[in-house]
Amino acid sequence: MKPNAENRLPSYAETKGVKWLLYELFDHLWPWSKQGWLQHKAIQTAGLAFAVAVTVAWALAANGRLGADALIGWWLGWSIYEIIIRMQCKPYIKDGPWWGHRYRPAGRMDMICYVLFKNLLIGALLFITLRNLGLLQMVS
């Protein structure tokens, strides 16, 4: 299950400007890679199914009311899956300022912190957006 040496750092590290920003954005949102897909088809397929299920959960949330515990369960489940898949497909994290181009191979704890924190920010952004649009109601 160890990643290939060529997967250790992103191929776009040397890219500049808007193109690099778009690569970064894609990298944060898409945990899979082509190499990872070829190597671990079963896991990837299960992952995609899981992603669909998560999307359904979000759709449910957007359509009305979803209990906090259910939503957090989904969030946690997805995050654990993402940690596993990223360790195989994209086992690196940014080193230094976000605007810099330095990356480092990620240890397990690096990846746990990265995924949980990133998903927390994405989750918070989605919560706030959905709630401000009146599409999500949380019950305390």
What residues make contact with other proteins under the rule CB under 8 A? 64-65, 68-69, 72, 93-98, 109-110, 112-114, 116-117, 124, 127-128, 134-135, 137-140
Nearer to other proteins, 25 or 138 (CB): 138
- The number of helix segments (H) and strand segments (E) in the chain equals 5, 2
In 66-107, alpha helices (H): 68-89
| CB 115, min distance to other proteins, A | 10
| CB 110, min distance to other proteins, A | 6
Nearer to other proteins, 89 or 111 (CB): 111
Q: Is the backbone of residue 134 left (phi > 0), alpha (psi -120 to 50) or beta?
A: left
β-strand partners of 103: 94
